[in-house]
Chain A
Amino acid sequence: MRQLPFHYAFRNLGRSGVRLAASLIGSSLVVLLILASGGFIRGMQLTLAQDDGLHENVMILGTGSEEGVERSQIDSSVEGIVAASVPGIKRQGGVVYASPEIHAALPVREDGDGDEDRVAVMRGVRPVALLVHARVEIVEGRSPRAGRDELMVGELAAARLGLPEERLALGRTLHFDDRDWSIVGRFSAPNSVMNAEIWLPLTDLQIATNRAASLSCVVVTLGRGAGGATFADVDLFAKGRLDLEVTAIRERDYYASIAAFYGPIRVMIIVTAILVASGGILGGLNTMYAAFAARVREVGMLQALGFTRVAIVANLVEESVFASACGVLIGTLLGAALLDGVAVRSSMGAFALVVDAPVVLLGVAGGLVVGLVGALPPAVRCLRLPIAEALKSY
Chain B
Amino acid sequence: MGPAIGYIPLTTSVPGWLSTVTLPILSLSVAAVAGVSQQVRGSVIDVLRQDYVRTLRARGLPPGRVLFRHVLRNASAPALTVLGMQFVGLLGGAVLVEQIFGLPGIGSMTVTYTTRGDTPIIMGLVMTTVVCVVVINLVVDLLVGWLNPKARAA
Chain A partners chain B: no
